[in-house]
Amino acid sequence: MLIAELGVDMSVFPTDAHLASWAGQCPGNHESAGKRRSGKSRKGSKWLQTTLNESAKAAARSKGTYLSAQYTRLRGLRGPRKATGALRHSILIAAYHILERKVPYQELGADYFEQRRSLEHRTKRLVRQLQQLGHGHPRAAHDVNGARTPQPTKEPPFTSIFTLRRQLRASTRAGIP
């Protein structure tokens, strides 16, 4: 359906942003006198809009994919409608690059957003979150020489409770105290 609406020749659009703008998948930017007004997107092809909407909602319901992880992450921050809009945009941009470069789609995986941070960083963040939730004093971390080092007490960044639960289950299975 996307090929029927867009065609296969992507040289018509200089960049992926031009395609998104033409399709009406970019947020509007109406600002006047320093006040931000309506951010409504412009109208594009209603058939393309419908196709992208159905595709985004189907991708959001899929399990273990990059797009479902993106939807879940954004739904908690912005709400379901804006998260669906972001998925529509992501699908359109991916289609542009696939058609332009003539390469198959490569799935990044559901844990793409978690893998961007190091294991040590994620562990420290989860320990801080457990401390903030009032789960006692976790055992102090040991350095290489066996000496105890105190845990840092910075404000943790926001993460979903589902990610926290999954990582706690994984650490329990692996035998990490």
The 10s digit of each residue's pLDDT in 51-107 is 999 999 999 999 989 999 999 999 988 899 999 999 999 999 999 999 999 999 888
Residue in 16, 1, 7, 26 with CA at minimum distance from that of residue 96 = 16
Q: Is the separation of the CB atoms in 131 and 161 below 8 Å?
A: no
Residue 129 vs residue 135, higher pLDDT: 129
Predicted pLDDT at 138? 47
Is it the case that residue 130 has pLDDT exceeding 60? Answer: yes
Instruction: Please return the burial class of 19, using the count of CB atoms within 10 Å of its CB with bins 0-12, 13-18 and 19+.
Output: buried
Query: Can you give the pLDDT at residue 21?
Result: 87
The model's confidence at residue 35, banded by pLDDT at 50, 70 and 90, is confident
Q: Which residues contact 145 (CB under 8 A, 6 or more apart)?
A: none
Q: What is the pLDDT confidence band of residue 150, given thresholds at 50, 70 and 90?
A: low
